[in-house]
Structure 1
Amino acid sequence: MTILTIKKQIALGLCFTVAIIFSAVKAQIVIGAPSLGFSQACASEEFNSYSTSFVFSPEASLEASNQFIIELSDADGDFANAEVIYTTTSGEITSSPASISFSIPESTAGENYKIRIKSTAPAATSSSSNAFAAYYKLQDSPFSINNLVSTGAFCSGSSYLLTIDNPGINANDSPLNYPSLTFNWYRETSATTSVFVAEGETLEVNTEGTYFVETNYGSCTSNSVSNKVTITEASNGQADATIASSLGNPYCPAQGLTTLTTIGGLSYQWFRDGEVIDGATNQMYQTNESRNFSVQVDLGECMASGSINLISELFNSDINVDSVNYLEEGETLTITITDDANNPTYEWFLNNTLLSETSATLEASEFGNYTVIISENNGCTGAVEYQFSIQEAIEQFPDVANIPNVISPNGDTINDTWIIPQEYTSGSNTLIRIFSSQGKLVFETNDYLNDWPQGNLELTNINQVFYYIIDTVDGKTEKGSITVIK
């Protein structure tokens, strides 16, 4: 073998070795630790977008099919069970530095999360980012505890249980609807400070104070906090029982029934204006009345009581006519509504037919059944309805010539009472006496109003006979019989 041939072989070997080394270098990249574009990730349905940037080298080593992946650690920063939270499309990123936006999962809750970047072609993994707090706020609105009752009481040596309401009062979104959430209870130490008491969905209290609970979102501030409840110890076996109205007080009845709720106890009894309400023995009582309500609560070793003067915001109104009114043919009755409604409207009906009148006054001359509806259209919207009738007047003292001997008191307004000539009626000082068929005096007056019989005669026969004696002041006497047709 010649020296030239040996040199060629050595040169070829060196070229091949360099090519292998170059190829190996080209097949590797180094990815720097991701830099966070945020200090903490406090996500919710309304906002969940965060960014990270990173560098990698060499750019030329990326293959066309490469994808960059963002992995999220667990809440302690461990990647043993890392979760992929974002993957780029193939070849999407080709130059360094690069930036990627991502969202955190709804199950995220902790103070020491980390992310890292991985590539697929060639495969490489960055070191982890700095630790950061991350929470997805599944529920981020105020919620209720203790049924929104602001107080509670416990007997000496006992305790009071505070609970998160589910469902929430007044349609509040109860955080108990989200099983992954946890809760921290606090007791106020001043108007602006508090101390942590315990974790959990309930809190058993045996120390006086004002308590509330927050959904545990760590260092992420949130609106997921409860109302405050002041707990006291019963004194001399008696405690105060606060009553809360779900629609407030005053309340607007147009919104439906308001729910009265008192403190928790073993048993309950509700009262209306001091009278027991039959069957009202639960912690809650619903009503649409404006009355004074009170409750007695059995706490076990002691009792609690409280009251609320419940007031309706619905407008006041009045009508100037009776439920039944009498007119003679051709007469007119003026009906007037008085009210303090806000922007009211008026609807008048005669025999269920809408009339054209829309003011607070109606001039009525037709006989029939009337209805007026007053509606308040601003503020506490609602309506009040009045019903009344106008009937043809019955002449109480018609000028009749003879004393009748038959009447039929059947309620048809025809011959219902014993109508006698005016010379014997009211103002004449005539003595009227009526006797049963057995001679028993059943009616006597010297001021007769043409109104006998005034009540139930307890008729035992189909046609029962009574007898009358009329004695005038001038000594004149009339006698006869009255047949009452059943």
Structure 2
Amino acid sequence: MQKITLLKHVTILLCSFVFLVSKNTKAQIVIGTPNLGFSQACANSSFNTYNTTFVFSPEAGLDSSNQFIIELSDADGNFTSPTVLHTTTPGEITTSPVTLSFSIPTTAYGENYRIRIKSTAPVATSSRSVPFAAYYKHQDSPFTINNLVSTGAFCSGGSYLLTIDNPGTGSNDSPLNYPTLTFNWFRETSATTSVFIAEGETLEVTDAGTYFVETNYGSCTSNSYSNRVTISEVTSGEATATIVSSLGNPFCPEQNATVLSTINGNSYQWYKDGAPIINATNQTYETNLSGTYSVQVDLGSCQASGSIDLVSELFSASINVSEENTLEEGETLTATVTTSANAPEYQWYLNNTIISGATQNTYEITEIGEYSVVITETSGCNASRTFDFSVIEAYNPFPDIDKIPNIVSPNGDGVNDTWIIPTKYTSGSNSEITIMSNRGEIVLKTDNYLNNWPENNLDLNSINKVYYYIIKSEQDTKKGTITLIK
């Protein structure tokens, strides 16, 4: 009985040993060094997908819960604090070889990154990949320096400071908006070659030459570079100060005012058509007017000057009506626009409301009101101009009224300026009109009254003047007073 019990214990131990050996054998795999499907990872917002391929063995060694993980080193290739680029779902990968895709982080900026592969069940880690450059290009478009002025000058023994514009003008995407970026300055040695000068956001130039700057994306190619600026050293005389218009020349004023920029200096004075512009003493000057603009730049121990004939592309236009027009009952007024605009479009308005169908350069006006017409140039400058005018009812010197007024206010406002009486007493009615002052002096006597008294200035003051009238007609005689007020 004791032998049988011992045999059973030995059998159990042997089975346990076989199970453990089998389990340990299944729990071990080897992951090969990952192969890169690229030589550089030069990513941006439009593209950030890269592949890696690796093998592992044995396939049977994977647990059903296993996950593969792609880890990225720091810029020096160290995995002290790796970044996880991709993690597969549990049990997703069961066969070898494996190809996985990943994206580099937006903080990637260096030449010696590496990746490695890890598994979770069983736990295993591959060797590091070969090093590769990885940059996330936050800014990948041309940008401007020196306010886009293509020249600069410094006095002999001095220097000229080149800077990256921030923000710059127009659609300029300044790389200074991205704090992680660094920059390399170059000087041209020929039309196709250049030499590295320095790093930084600015460059102090002490040698004449043509300079530009690029965003430092290492060995990755990039479209993040600046315009060229040619710097000269002034040893005697006066240097040329180039002037650049931000909207070009000619420019379209509909796009707002253009900004004139010149070379960097100690102080500035701008001129228009030869006359100094008051308070125009900055490196830039904003205007929407055509003309000859010039600038005087103090460079320290020498001077620079330049000029530009600035031309506005705003089209010319005119209209054949006055700002204020009158319209008799039953009459029409034809308003016509003449313009040099390219492919012009027209829209007429009455009292700030669109007149339906009024889209030609002429319009027949039949009613009073406030009118305007907008002319839009649809080719070239794409600008617009507006003409405003009013149409009022024509003045009737002989309105049909019933009573003789006793108050007149000859102040020139167009309302009650003259003594208007019923038409049965005016010109052609054989009525005699007499008007006297309060002292009995006759100031008007006529049998052809035109509703036009008083015709001249009666020296009105703060005291209202009173006059007397007598109207003799074939029917009756009317008497009364007329008070003149201011």
**What do residues 325-365 of structure 1 show as CA deviations (whole Å, max 9, x unaligned)?**
79999987765432221221234456767667543235668
Shift of 1:127: 0.8
In 1, the alpha carbon distance for the partners of 2:243 and 2:234 equals 17
| 8 A contact 1:155–1:234 mirrored in 2 | yes
User: In the alignment, which residue of structure 1 is the partner of 2:428?
Assistant: none
The 3-state SS of whatever aligns with 1:171 is coil
Say whether 1:123 aligns with 2:123. yes
Is residue 211–residue 229 contact of structure 1 (8 Å, CA) maintained in 2? Answer: yes
Q: How does 1:149-298 map to 2 (within 5 A)?
A: 149-298=149-298
Distance (whole Å) between structure 2 residues aligned to residue 47 and residue 355 of structure 1: 52
Deviation larger for 341-350 or 360-369: 360-369
* Counterpart residue number, 1:78: 78
- Greater shift in the superposed pair: 336-345 or 364-373: 364-373
Partner-residue secondary structure (3-state), 2:71: strand
Map 1:34-433 to 2 at 5 A. 34-320=34-320, 335-348=335-348, 357-362=358-363, 371-387=372-388, 410-411=411-412
Q: What amino acid is aligned across from residue 260 of structure 2 in structure 1?
A: L
Change (3 A) 1:409 1:301: farther
Question: TM-score, normalised to structure 1's length?
Answer: 0.75
Tell me the secondary structure at the aligned position of residue 169 of structure 1: coil
Tell me the residue number matched to 1:32: 32
How far off its partner does 1:46 sit? 0.8
Normalising by structure 2, what TM-score? 0.75
- Measured in 2, the distance between the counterparts of 1:261 and 1:72 equals 47
- Aligned residue type for 1:380: C
Aligned AA (2:159): S
Q: What is the rounded CA distance, in whole Å, between the counterparts of 1:271 and 1:296 in structure 2?
A: 8
Distance 1:81 1:97 in 2: 27
Once the two structures are TM-superposed, the CA of residue 393 in structure 1 deviates from its matched residue by 9.9
In structure 2, distance between residues paired with 1:135 and 1:372? 56
Letter paired with 1:123? V
Q: CA deviation at 1:161?
A: 0.8
**How many Å separate the matches in 2 of 1:45 and 1:327?**
64
Q: After alignment, is 28-37 or 337-346 more displaced?
A: 337-346
The CA deviation string for residues 419-441 of structure 1, in whole angstroms up to 9 with x for no partner, is xxxxxxxxxxxxxxxxxxxxxxx
Give the count of matched residue pairs: 419
Task: Write out per-residue CA displacement over residues 265-310 of structure 1, whole angstroms, 9 at most, x where no aligned residue.
Answer: 2222222212222222222222211122222222222222222211
* Displacement after TM superposition at 1:381 (Å): 1.6
| % identical equivalent positions | 65
> What residue ranges of structure 2 are gaps of 5+ in the alignment?
396-408, 419-454, 465-484
Cα deviation, residue 409, structure 1 = 8.3
Cα gap change, 1:90/1:348 in structure 2, threshold over 3 Å: closer, same or farther? Answer: closer
Q: Deviations over 1:27-75 (max 9, x none)?
A: 2111100011111111111111111111111111112222111111222
Q: 1:239 to 1:58 in 2, by over 3 A?
A: same
Partner of 1:23: helix, strand, or coil?
helix
Aligned partner of residue 296 in structure 1, secondary structure: strand
- State the Cα distance separating 1:190 from its structure 2 match: 1.7
Could you say what secondary structure the match of 1:176 adopts?
helix
Amino acid at match of 2:360: S
Across the aligned residues of Structure 1 and Structure 2, the Cα RMSD in angstroms comes to 3.9
Decide which moves more: 311-320 or 153-162: 311-320
Q: Offset of 1:183 from its aligned partner?
A: 0.7
Residue identity opposite 2:315 in structure 1: F
Question: How far has the Cα of 1:237 moved from its partner?
Answer: 4.7
Would the aligned equivalents of 1:109 and 1:217 in 2 still touch at CA under 8 Å? yes
Q: Distance in 1 between matches of 2:324 and 2:67?
A: 88
The Cα of 1:24 is off from its aligned counterpart by: 2.8
SS at match of 2:23: helix
Provide the rounded CA distance (Å) in 2 between the counterparts of 1:107 and 1:352.
Answer: 55
Cα separation, 2, equivalents of 1:64 and 1:282: 72
Alpha-carbon distance in structure 1 between the residues aligned to 2:66 and 2:330: 99
Encode CA deviations 1:424-475: one digit per residue, 9 max, x unaligned: xxxxxxxxxxxxxxxxxxxxxxxxxxxxx99x99999989xxxxxxxxxxxx
**d(CA) in 1 for partners of 2:273 and 2:391?**
36
Contact 1:237 1:301 in 2 (8 A): no
2:151 and 2:351 mapped to 1: Cα distance?
52
Determine helix, strand or coil for the equivalent of 2:318: strand
Q: Please list, as runs of the form range in 1=range in 2, the aligned pairs for 1:14-25 lying within 5 A after superposition.
A: 19-25=19-25
Q: Distance in 1 between matches of 2:353 and 2:8?
A: 118
Secondary structure of the 1:143 match is coil
Counterpart Cα distance in 1 of 2:462 and 2:15: 140
Structure 2 residue identity aligned to 1:94: T
> How big is the shift at 1:171?
2.8
- CA 1:35–1:352 in structure 2 vs 1: closer, same or farther (change >3 Å)? closer
Q: Tell me the distance in 2 between the aligned counterparts of 1:47 and 1:251.
A: 37
Q: Distance in 1 between matches of 2:122 and 2:140?
A: 43
Amino acid at match of 2:305: S
Where structure 1 has 5 or more consecutive residues not aligned to the other structure, the ranges are 395-407, 417-452, 464-484
With over 3 angstroms needed to count, the CA separation of the structure-2 counterparts of 1:196 and 1:457, relative to structure 1, is farther
Q: Which amino acid aligns with 1:133?
A: A
> What letter matches 1:157 in structure 2?
G
User: Does the C-alpha gap of structure 1 residues 234 and 388 become closer, same or farther in structure 2, counting only changes over 3 Å?
Assistant: farther
Indicate conservation of the 8 Å contact 1:214/1:224, yes or no: yes
Q: Which residue of 2 aligns with 1:474?
A: none
SS of residue in 2 equivalent to 1:191 = coil
Aligned partners of 2:202, 2:458: CA distance in 1, in Å?
Answer: 69
